[in-house]
Amino acid sequence: MSSHCEYIRPLLAELVYGEVDTDVAEEIREHLGSCLPCRRHQKAYMAVREELQRWQPAHEHIPRGTTFIAPGPHAAAPLWRSHWVQGLAIAAGFFSIAFLMAAAVNLELRSAADGWTLTTSLWNAPAMAAATVPALGTASEPAAPEPQEPLTVSVEQIPGIEAWLEQKLAERAYVTAAQLGAIELTEPQVRQVSGLLAVERGTLDARHEQRLSELVSAYDAQMREFVTYNLASLHDDLQSRQSVAHADIVSLVDLLQVDTRRRFEQTENRIDYLGNLVTAAAPAGREQEN
């Protein structure tokens, strides 16, 4: 095997999966034209791909009756994140510190007829350190807490809340989009389609290229327009109310996120569709390449 064959062989694997740069593909084709062993390898790799595709069993799709359900909020959360566990940990810490302090000052708690007596030998001043706590039922009952009004947020009372909310919404929209892979949609998808363009450039007509660039620029414009629109709606909604319940704000944020997600998906589908158009536009080029 010549050194050029050694260089070409790994590239053949990339070629049979159609993921190789145009100039490299051209170089491979030139080599294949004059090298029978490498042609044999190329055919072998294509045959392997065909064989791999034979494994399309009944289990290709999720068995019927199987439904994946997002778990409940507490079922999957780590134990240390449970509020109960956190509360217990804080309480345990508090009592540990109290116990250690009590031991350090030689604290003593005694039961007496008129209640409980707390004494300490610290500073050798029992008169100052002793305190009597009334027994249960001997002291006056503390006043019952007054029922609290449900928490509401008044727009006027909190300066800058709208700006803060807008910022949070923008951040949240970004995070949601990132979680769905939508923010990354711009660059990778464009790169993906651009990659197709690079491979198929020779067979693409100007109309497809024009359509692609329109779509890519429209994507950013749509995003800006949509987020701006939703923020404006939220702003109007806030302005029209004297007081906005916290739950209302949460609902609005939820609505914004769901709508944003749909918009992202629609755009993604359109880019996929265009990718298919681009692929379909150049079957001859790919066949020749393979």
Partner 1 sequence: MTVKGDVQAFNEIVARWEGKLYSFVYRYLGDAEEAKDVTQESFVRAYSHLEGFRGQSKFSSWLYQIALNLCRSKLRRSTAHPMVSIDGRQEDNPLWAVADERPTPAEATLEQERVLAVREALAQLPEAQRTVIILKEYNGLKFREIAEILDTPESTVKSRLYHGLASLAQALGHLQAEEN
Binding site for partner 1 (CB under 8 A): 9-10, 12-14, 16-17, 19, 37, 40-41, 43-45, 47-49, 51-55, 57, 59-63, 66, 68-73, 75-78, 172, 174-176, 178-181, 183-184, 188, 192, 250, 253-254, 257-258, 261
| Residue (104 or 247) nearer to partner 1, CB | 247
Residue 154 — φ and ψ, nearest 5°? -90, 130
How far apart (Å, rounded) are the C-alpha atoms in residues 169 and 163? 10
| Residue (34 or 53) nearer to partner 1, CB | 53
How far apart (Å, rounded) are the C-alpha atoms in residues 132 and 139? 12
| Residue (9 or 116) nearer to partner 1, CB | 9
**Could you tell me whether strands 152-154 and 131-134 are parallel, antiparallel, or unpaired per DSSP bridges?**
unpaired
| Residue (107 or 180) nearer to partner 1, CB | 180
Smallest gap from residue 49 Cβ to partner 1 (A): 7
List beta partners, residue 152.
Answer: 245
Smallest gap from residue 114 Cβ to partner 1 (A): 51
| Residue (33 or 73) nearer to partner 1, CB | 73
How far apart (Å, rounded) are the C-alpha atoms in residues 65 and 244? 44
| Residue (169 or 238) nearer to partner 1, CB | 169
How far apart (Å, rounded) are the C-alpha atoms in residues 96 and 88? 12
What does the angle CA 279 – CA 222 – CA 217 come to, to the nearest 5 degrees? 50
Span between the terminal Cα atoms of the chain, in Å: 22
Structure tokens at 119: 């004494």
Smallest gap from residue 246 Cβ to partner 1 (A): 11
Smallest gap from residue 279 Cβ to partner 1 (A): 12
How far apart (Å, rounded) are the C-alpha atoms in residues 68 and 62? 10
Smallest gap from residue 200 Cβ to partner 1 (A): 16
| Residue (86 or 106) nearer to partner 1, CB | 86
Smallest gap from residue 175 Cβ to partner 1 (A): 7
Q: What is residue 185's DSSP assignment?
A: I
Smallest gap from residue 280 Cβ to partner 1 (A): 17
Residues 185, 267 contacting (CB under 8 angstroms): yes
